[in-house]
A and B are shown apart, each in its own frame.
Chain A
Amino acid sequence: QKEVEQDPGPLSVPEGAIVSLNCTYSNSAFQYFMWYRQYSRKGPELLMYTYSSGNKEDGRFTAQVDKSSKYISLFIRDSQPSDSATYLCAMMGQGAQKLVFGQGTRLTINP
């Protein structure tokens, strides 16, 4: 079993829809939770960052962490075609030096 599980999709939704992306993990030591966005033929770039549990909102994006369930989510409101990309969750333990990535979910927003 992988340390971080993420449904690879693909996920295709119409423009304007609310998108929900999720990851589960098995390592209870993870404290830092991130979402990276990767456009086709580009490197990943940090989209959202959360420390420990809770929610974080940035514009149309909301990241949620539920440590009791070992489950993290990324919500995208009013999705746009420009949001079409692969979304990778990533996690790291306190004092750890290694970022562990999920497989990535490929998302397409259809105009």
Chain B
Amino acid sequence: DTAVSQTPKYLVTQMGNDKSIKCEQNLGHDTMYWYKQDSKKFLKIMFSYNNKELIINETVPNRFSPKSPDKAHLNLHINSLELGDSAVYFCASSKMASGGETQYFGPGTRLLVL
């Protein structure tokens, strides 16, 4: 059983389109995250939710909007996609937000904007 799953795995789309990525975790964790990994493998946090409440909102364009319908799900909607949005997006979860808890990552969604 996959602990953290993401859909879709691959996403190829045109500039200007709107797309969503979904994430689900079955670990019973309270905290979920979205990360962006660029072509140089640099992994940077975008958002974090704890118990459906937004707790981290890094300097991310407001074209990116996360949504957590419940503790087990965290989705990412991206409006008006730009070339620079091409990257791998990882969802992760942890038991709680602080205390150095281990974060468990999903397999990633590879987004290519043409």
Name the residue on A nearest B35 (C-beta). Answer: A101
Say whether B66 faces chain A, with CB atoms less than 8 Å apart.
Answer: no
Cβ-closest chain A residue relative to B33: A99
Chain A residues at the B interface, C-beta cutoff of 8 Å: 8, 31-32, 34, 38, 41-46, 49, 51, 86, 88, 92, 95-99, 101, 103-104, 106
Number of interface residues of B (CB under 8 A): 24
Asked whether, in the complex, the Cβ of B102 is within 8 Å of the Cβ of A44, the reply is no
Q: Can you identify 12 A-B contacts, CB atoms within 8 angstroms? A: A43-B4, A43-B107, A43-B108, A46-B102, A49-B102, A88-B43, A92-B100, A97-B55, A97-B56, A103-B40, A104-B42, A106-B41
Question: Are B100's CB and A49's CB within 8 A?
Answer: yes
Indicate whether A101 sits within 8 Å of B97 (C-beta atoms), given known contacts A43-B105, A44-B105: no
Contact B107 A44 (CB under 8 A): no
Chain B, 23-68, CB within 8 A of any chain A CB:
40-45, 48, 50, 55-56
Given known pairs A45-B105, A46-B102, A95-B98, the reply for A8 and B56 (CB within 8 Å) is no
Closest to A99 in B: B103
- Whether A31 lies near B100 (C-beta < 8 A) is yes
Known pairs A43-B106, A43-B107, A45-B105; A96 contacts B41 (CB<8 A):
no
A40 vs B40: C-alpha distance in the bound complex, in angstroms? 13
CB distance from A21 to the nearest CB of B (A): 14
CA of A5 to CA of B80, assembled, Å? 33
**Bound state CA distance, A43 and B4, in angstroms?**
10
> Is the beta-carbon distance between A8 and B43 smaller than 8 angstroms?
no
| A-B complex: 4 closest residue pairs judged by Cβ atoms | A32-B100, A43-B105, A104-B41, A97-B97
Q: Are A97 and B42 also in contact (CB < 8 A) when A43-B107, A44-B105 are?
A: no
Q: Within 8 Å CB of A46, what residues of B?
A: 102-104
- Are A101 and B55 interface neighbours, CB within 8 A? no
| A101-B44 in contact (CB<8A) | yes
Instruction: A93 to B47: give the CA distance in the assembly, Å.
Output: 18
- Identify which of B40, B48, B90, B99 contacts A44 (C-beta below 8 A): B90
Chain B residues with CB under 8 Å of A98's CB are 45, 48, 56
